[in-house]
Amino acid sequence: MLGKKPKPEITTVEQQMLALASKRRSQRARRLCLSVAISMAAACVFMMLSNQASPWYMDLVKPFFALPPVINSLGWLAVHASAGVALAAVLDAPRTALCRAAFAHMAFLALAQWAFAVVFYRLYAPAIGFLLLGILLFAAFIAAGTVRKATAPPPPDENAVPENQTFSRGEWGAAFLLPYIIWTGYTLIVQYCIVIFN
């Protein structure tokens, strides 16, 4: 009667590698949660600054494709959550000057968006709000490129076994800014129509 095959013993080096991999996964999970929380907090500040229920905003003539305020707010929350994933990729990247630049660019997106909310919804200046949205959209493109460069993996070792990956970390990190860019572009078109109609 054949006995059961003994389980392979795990060496001390393998145990250390498994513990290190588990620690890295835990750190990445914490960074992801922190990044999404920061991005959602920025979205909440934008919601507080943008008074979409004000009589002034409700009386504006808007294009037929303009979404109701509730759906518009949910859209901003969704794209901020996606941008939070891109921020997590930046925080997970090596601390380089390019990484700090990517973080600064993403912080500028929040500041520009808050400025738009104050100027348009509080100061009632649609034209200046349109200009700020254009700056925001341009900054989002710049931020996506910086995030892609900052989170790109180092050049592969010639002796290493090539990994079968569809996207590198830099590519998927920047890809999560794409919904933010699309939504900002849509908002820019709506804002242009508001300036023209009013």
CATH of the domain at 120: 1.20.1260
The reply to whether 107 falls in a domain is: yes
Residues 67, 69, 71, 75: is their CA dihedral positive or negative? Answer: positive
Mean pLDDT (whole number) for 24-47: 89
The reply to whether 14 falls in a domain is: no
The reply to whether 159 falls in a domain is: no
Q: Quick one: DSSP state of residue 153? A: P
pLDDT over 50 (residue 146) = yes
Mean pLDDT (whole number) for 11-23: 66
Mean pLDDT (whole number) for 65-80: 94
**Can you give the pTM of this predicted structure?**
0.83
- Say how many Å lie between the first and final Cα of the chain, rounded: 90
The reply to whether 1 falls in a domain is: no
Specify the pLDDT at position 28: 81
Cα separation, 29 vs 26, in Å, equals: 5
The reply to whether 93 falls in a domain is: yes
The reply to whether 11 falls in a domain is: no
Q: How far lies 58's CA from each of 52, 81, 145, in Å? A: 7, 27, 37
Q: Look up the domain containing 38 and give its range.
A: 25-153+167-197
The reply to whether 134 falls in a domain is: yes
Mean pLDDT (whole number) for 100-119: 94
Q: How many domains, the chain?
A: 1
Specify the pLDDT at position 152: 80
